[in-house]
Structure 1
Amino acid sequence: MTDPQTPDPETPDPQSSASQTPAPRLTLRAGAEGAAVTDTVWAQIGGTETFETIARAFYRGIREDEVLAPMYPQDDWEGAIWRMRAFLEQYWGGPTSYSEERGHPRLRMRHQPFAVTPDARDRWLRHMHAALDEAALPPMHDAAFRDYIERAALAMVNRFE
């Protein structure tokens, strides 16, 4: 018979660090028996270099767009490129530079001063799709990225005139 004050060595103590082991995490695998996919989308598609390609290609189109170009500070295209790249990198699992420098993205709040009409949305999407075409992402990542930008662009519309 054991003393009720003496812990049973077979029963983990709820206060011990051993009982604080986190539950197993879900592991995404490349096929039923494939290797674990542990990299973020950011790493899987080429990291900063790929996101830089996307941002630069996007802004090449924006600069020539008669509706969208005036919404950007004409003397800060490099800043706009950095903000787009850093935001997308962070969203897809890369460095957190965007939030470290600018705080929470607050996309709707940051875009509120601009007339994001359905036409502006469609133009923005046209330039972003062209940038993704240039980046030539693997099909699975390309589909996920395009799905995200479609949803994000729809959410940014703030005027219907």
Structure 2
Amino acid sequence: MTEMEVMRVCGEDGIRKMVAAFYARVEEDDLIGPMYPKDDMAGSEERLAEFLLFRLGASKRYLEMRGHPRLRMRHVTFRIGEAERDRWLKLMGLAMEETSVPKSARDFLEPFFAQVADFMRNQVSE
């Protein structure tokens, strides 16, 4: 499956619903929730949705709004180790399940999310 095929089966609405389900969990999460801006959860949700739509080839709005993603730079102020990476992946997996992301799209998205989440780590495992 390619990025465009993910968009074909999920659509922009499906990606946005998945991200909304993810953020509903993040807001209540004791480990990664505190990393997110309580006063701008909607903005944070919108930025992730726009990033994913950009990465999946559906829109260039993210680039127009934020420029190059520079993900590590944007997250450097947060302590991200294995536990945080794994929790992020767990919550996103639950969001994909809740919003019925098709298996074919999950088979593409899960390795992508795992690679990006691991790349974001800035803490060495003990």
Q: Normalization by structure 2: what TM-score?
A: 0.91
Matches within 5 A, 1:69-148: 69-148=33-112
How far apart in 2 are the matches of 1:42 and 1:91?
11
How far apart in 2 are the matches of 1:53 and 1:115?
27
Matches within 5 A, 1:23-34: none
The corresponding residue for 1:59 is: 23
What's the Cα RMSD here?
A: 1.9
1:3-55 Cα shifts (integer Å, max 9, x gaps): xxxxxxxxxxxxxxxxxxxxxxxxx9xxxxxxxx9x92353123220111111
Between structure 1 and structure 2, the one with the greater Rg is: 1
Higher mean displacement: 44-53 or 89-98: 44-53
Is residue 2:114 matched to residue 1:150? Answer: yes
CA contact (8 A) 1:41 1:93 kept: no
- Sequence identity (%): 34
Extract unaligned runs of 5+ from structure 1.
Answer: 1-27, 29-36
CA contact (8 A) 2:10 2:102 kept: no
More helix per residue: 2
1:137 CA drift (Å): 2.5
| Structure with higher RCO (Cα < 8 A, 6+ apart) | 2
The corresponding residue for 1:40 is: 4
1:131-157 Cα shifts (integer Å, max 9, x gaps): 111232232221010110111111111
1:120 aligned partner, one-letter code: E
2:121 aligned partner, one-letter code: V
Extract unaligned runs of 5+ from structure 2.
Answer: none
Higher mean displacement: 104-113 or 133-142: 133-142
Aligned length: 125
How far apart in 2 are the matches of 1:135 and 1:65?
19
The corresponding residue for 1:5 is: none
2:90 aligned partner, one-letter code: R
The corresponding residue for 1:11 is: none
- Say which SS state the counterpart of residue 39 (structure 2) adopts: coil
Q: Normalization by structure 1: what TM-score?
A: 0.72
1:160 CA drift (Å): 2.4
